[in-house]
């Protein structure tokens, strides 16, 4: 079954064929770190986390890069308002980002570059554009000549003539054409600045991603992703610069997730209608937001409400409950005459799941296949309980169904982080709470986990937390350090 992906560049679904067989290079635009993350950021993180997981499930070796914009007008303005260096603001919200990502089980990118650590790469990229005639310098500012790139607008489907009507030269800008955009900007006296061939300044937003992609992934990548609102001008400008410089396709597939809305309006900080990720996980298990995001196709708008979170919570409990019910069923007496089993339903659910996911990552249809299996599992459970027994074949089929729900949910959808699969490879006997706990050993494991988190080795950190939880130990990360207690 081939994977089909909707490509914003062509406006249609296409068979996914990577540049190099067996390998996929993905770049997504990360956050500008001037404030806490909201549900809109969370949706994009979850969408591309699941896309990455599914590509990996299909056997691809995925190299995933997601950046931080850590110097920007919004960061500088916040730093001024708080009388702090801009680096303190950036570091604060990068830390917030990693905490949110960990709580929502977003796997760390393979490379998470910062703009400020790539200034030489950005300057080199800009100089090459100047040398090639696509950019020009005016009194320390450098601009890209949009009209010189003949295919400008091909990603967003906008013509140059159409753009002229809304184009203008802002006060202080010295560009030759209203359509041109800044690659490098002269810094004001109280702003961060770096030395360059054109004087002290800082990079323009649209150039940063290009330079980081060229450095870490090469001139042509398989997938470039981000929110729909980035299509124009950000991604259009990225594409123009990259292809002007390399004379090669910049990305083979452009994938954009739809926006999060509240009562039909885009969720944004400027409108004041945003819900932070912290607020979400202070009220709900992070799995609930993941499931809500997956219940809507990634390209469609997601209208957020607390009522929908409650509905999703009930759906999640049905899904989780079906997995947990195996523990109830295996305690029933054996009844060889019990005839129902789930093997046919399992085959249909698996086939439906992978067909949906391979059709442009259609998570709502994939979930529908899983919930159809849940319904059949519940029917089997009710019949078994009512009859007072269950056959070995029925019990084994239920266990297999439960394991499939758990494994798909965890490995591809990023759910059920704290659950264990039902396969009983070995009975592990754990003494109850009266058993003496070695406090020193627990503290050592917590120290190892904290070190892993600091080094962004989140899989190790999550594994330690999960195993301690399994042993009856709850760990809590607080502003004054990590604490632990018995369940």
- pLDDT of 160 reads 85
DSSP 32: B
- Is the pLDDT assigned to residue 453 strictly greater than 90? no
- What is the C-alpha to C-alpha distance for residues 142 and 185, in angstroms, rounded to an integer? 7
Mean pLDDT of the chain: 90
Q: pLDDT digit string (tens) for 331-352?
A: 999 999 999 999 999 999 999 9
Rounded Cα distance between 27 and 217, Å, is: 8
Q: What is the pLDDT of residue 429?
A: 32
Fold equal for 4-266 and 307-411: no
Give the residue among 228, 234, 230, 120 at the shortest CA–CA distance from 181: 234
Q: Check whether 422 has a pLDDT greater than 80.
A: no
Q: Residue 166 has what pLDDT?
A: 63
Label residue 479 by pLDDT band (50, 70, 90). Answer: low
Q: Would you tell me how many other CB atoms lie within 10 Å of the CB of residue 183? A: 31
Question: Does the structure show a pLDDT above 80 at 131?
Answer: yes
pLDDT (tens digit per residue) in 222-271: 999 999 999 999 999 999 999 999 999 999 999 999 999 998 888 887 77
Q: How do the domains of the chain map onto residue ranges? A: 4-266, 307-411, 439-486
Contact 265, 273 (CB under 8 A): yes
Q: Which of 347, 82, 114 is nearest to 215 (CA)?
A: 114
Tens of pLDDT, residues 279-330: 999 999 999 999 999 999 999 999 999 999 999 999 999 999 999 999 999 9
Pair of tokens at residue 286? 């992070």
pLDDT of 65 above 60:
yes
Q: What is the pLDDT of residue 470?
A: 64
Report whether 142 contacts 197 (CB < 8 A).
no
Residue 305 tokens read as 């409400």
Predicted confidence at residue 169, as pLDDT, reads 66
Give the pLDDT confidence score for residue 430 in this predicted structure.
30
CATH number of 307-411: 1.20.120.640
Adjacent-strand bridge partners of 476? 483
To the nearest 10 degrees (0 to 180), the angle between helices 86-103 and 73-82 is 110
Q: What is the pLDDT of residue 267?
A: 86
CATH number of the structural domain 4-266: 3.40.50.620
Quote the strand ranges of 54-140, DSSP E: 61-66, 135-138
Backbone angles phi, psi at 189, to 5 degrees: -60, -35
Average pLDDT (2-25) is 97
pLDDT of 406 higher than 70? yes
């Amino acid at each position: 079954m081939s994977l089909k992906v909707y490509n914003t560049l062509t406006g249609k679904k296409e068979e996914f064929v990577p540049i190099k067989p067996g390998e996929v290079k993905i770049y997504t635009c990360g956050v500008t770190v001037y404030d806490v993350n909201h549900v809109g950021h969370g949706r994009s993180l979850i969408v591309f986390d699941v896309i990455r997981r599914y590509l990996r499930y299909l056997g691809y070796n995925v190299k995933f890069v997601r950046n931080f914009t850590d110097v920007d007008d919004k960061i500088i303005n916040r730093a001024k308002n708080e009388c702090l260096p801009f680096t303190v603001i950036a570091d604060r919200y990068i830390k917030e980002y990693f905490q949110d990502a960990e709580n929502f089980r977003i796997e760390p990118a393979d490379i998470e570059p910062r703009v400020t650590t790539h200034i030489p790469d950005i300057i080199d990229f800009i100089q090459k554009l100047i040398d090639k005639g696509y950019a020009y310098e005016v009194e320390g500012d450098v601009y890209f000549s949009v009209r010189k790139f003949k295919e400008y607008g091909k990603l967003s489907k906008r013509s140059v003539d159409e753009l002229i009507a809304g184009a203008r030269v802002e006060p202080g800008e010295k560009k030759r054409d209203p359509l041109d955009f800044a690659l490098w900007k002269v810094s004001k006296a109280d702003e961060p600045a770096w030395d360059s061939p054109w004087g002290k300044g800082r990079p323009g937003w649209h150039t940063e991603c290009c330079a980081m992609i060229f450095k870490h992934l090469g001139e042509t990548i398989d997938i470039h992703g981000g929110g729909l609102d980035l299509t124009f001008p950000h991604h259009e400008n990225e594409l123009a610069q990259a292809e002007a410089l390399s004379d090669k396709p910049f990305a083979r597939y452009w994938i954009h997730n739809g926006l999060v809305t509240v009562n039909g309006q885009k969720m944004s900080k400027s409108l004041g209608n945003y819900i932070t990720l912290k607020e979400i996980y202070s009220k709900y298990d992070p799995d609930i937001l993941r499931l809500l995001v997956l219940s809507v196709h990634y390209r469609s708008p997601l209208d957020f409400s607390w009522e929908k979170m409650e509905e999703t919570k009930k759906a999640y409990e049905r899904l989780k409950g079906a997995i947990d019910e195996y523990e109830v069923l295996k305690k029933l007496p054996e009844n060889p005459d019990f005839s129902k089993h789930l093997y046919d339903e399992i085959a249909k659910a698996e086939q439906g799941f992978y067909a949906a996911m391979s059709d442009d990552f259609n998570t709502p249809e994939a979930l529908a296949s899983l919930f159809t299996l849940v319904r059949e599992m519940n029917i089997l459970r009710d019949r078994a309980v009512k009859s007072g027994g269950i056959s070995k074949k029925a019990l084994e089929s239920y266990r297999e169904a439960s394991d499939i729900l758990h494994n798909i949910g965890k490995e591809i959808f990023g759910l059920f982080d704290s659950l264990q699969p039902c396969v009983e490879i070995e009975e592990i006997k754990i003494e109850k709470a009266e058993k003496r706990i070695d406090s020193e050993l627990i503290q050592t494991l917590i120290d190892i986990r904290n070190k892993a988190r600091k080094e962004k080795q989140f899989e190790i950190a999550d594994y330690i937390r999960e195993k301690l939880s399994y042993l009856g130990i709850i760990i809590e990360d607080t502003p004054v350090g990590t604490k632990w207690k018995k369940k």
